[in-house]
Amino acid sequence: MLYPASLSADLQYLAKRYEWNAEDKAEVRTAFTDCPEMVNFFTVLAAAHRAGYEQCAANGYIRLQTWCMQQDLGDPFAPGFDLAALDAMAAEPKRAHA
């Protein structure tokens, strides 16, 4: 399976953000190996965090899918999801994303 060029940077970003230890990293590697759906999940998760996604008590621990849909990005797990639009949103100056 070919992986997106950005996957390594996305996983490094998530590892730092979530403070993954070696065991966590091994679990993540196992989860995405030969699994395009998990590659997509980690790629979208990293981009969403860069765009302002947070999961906390204040927002009811909003799920990634719900957050993406509230941002008018669509369902990140459906065919045709526009990752480029999410990346563009992440590149915008920081603002509060619902």
- At 95 the pLDDT is 53
What tens digit of pLDDT does each residue of 69-82 get?
999 999 999 988 99
> What average pLDDT does the segment 33-60 reach?
95
What is the distance between the alpha carbons of residues 56 and 38, in angstroms, rounded to a whole number?
Answer: 22
User: Model-level pTM?
Assistant: 0.88
What is the distance between the alpha carbons of residues 23 and 28, in angstroms, rounded to a whole number?
Answer: 9
Q: What percent of the chain has pLDDT over 90?
A: 85
- At 93 the pLDDT is 66
DSSP letter, residue 82: -
